[in-house]
Amino acid sequence: MNMLKKFTQYLIVVLALPVLAQSVKVNKEASMIKGDKADGYAVELEGTSEEVTSALNKYMKSFAKLKLGANPMTTSEAVINGTSYKSPVYGMVKEKGQGAEAWMGIKSGEWTSEEDAEKVLKQLDRMMYDFGVKYYRDKIQVQIDESTRALQAVERQQQRLVTENKNLNLKMENNQKEKIQLEKSLETNKLENQNLLLKIEQNKKSQDSVGVAADQIKKVVEMHKERQKKVN
């Protein structure tokens, strides 16, 4: 019953979630990093800044080494589209409305090759789109996993109830058989009881008859004894 209640509550929450597909929109946006302008791209996402920060950190680690303790997130080495770059790529997250905004960009002045800087900046547009898509898909995957676990729990409960139902029906069948057998035994016992009562009554009558006969025979014996005494 508790499992069913929990599942019902979970179902109410899930059904309240929006069913429309999430839309990822990337905007070109400049940010200030340590007093210097950095060009990049940003994407607004649903979720807390902590959730988005954790996701962006994980995403940037998939293509680069991050400097420990750097704020904002800063790469020491990055491999983008098969090319390795020493110049840093920056990442940061800030609260935006009901959600958070993730941003990645570069300071062009830190790049020795203007061509590389422009190429990476263009690729960041696509990378932020990919990050936004991955972020939502990962969140939905968590919901899928939760729903799958809930389904498995309900299916296990359902199987337990099916097994319990089979056992209860088997017990009921055995109980019915035992009941029938007991009813037959009770009827047999009733007939046997009546037969014994009849035999007891007959025995009593027989005892009375034999008692009368015994008394008469005793009288005959006494009579013969008296006759015997008179013989001289």
In the structure, what pLDDT confidence band is assigned to residue 69 with cuts at 50, 70 and 90? confident
Per-residue pLDDT tens over the stretch 156-170:
999 999 999 999 999
Would you place residue 8 in the very low, low, confident or very high pLDDT band (cuts 50, 70, 90)?
low
pLDDT value at 24 more than 60: yes
pLDDT the model gives residue 222? 86
Query: What pLDDT score was predicted for residue 90?
Result: 97
Mean pLDDT across 147-160: 92
Report which secondary-structure segment, H or E, holds 67: none
131 or 232, which is more confident: 131
Q: What is the chain's Cα-based Rg?
A: 49
Question: Prior bond to 72 cis, omega within 30?
Answer: yes
**32 — pLDDT class (breaks 50, 70, 90):** very high
Q: Per-domain residue ranges for the chain? A: 20-148
Is the confidence at residue 209, as pLDDT, over 70?
yes
- Are the C-beta atoms of 27 and 19 separated by less than 8 Å? no
CA-to-CA dists, residue 100 to 11, 54, 58, 66, 95, angstroms:
27, 12, 16, 21, 4
- Report whether pLDDT(78) > 80: yes
Where are any strands of DSSP class E within the chain? 26-33, 36-45, 64-66, 73-80, 83-85, 90-96, 99-106
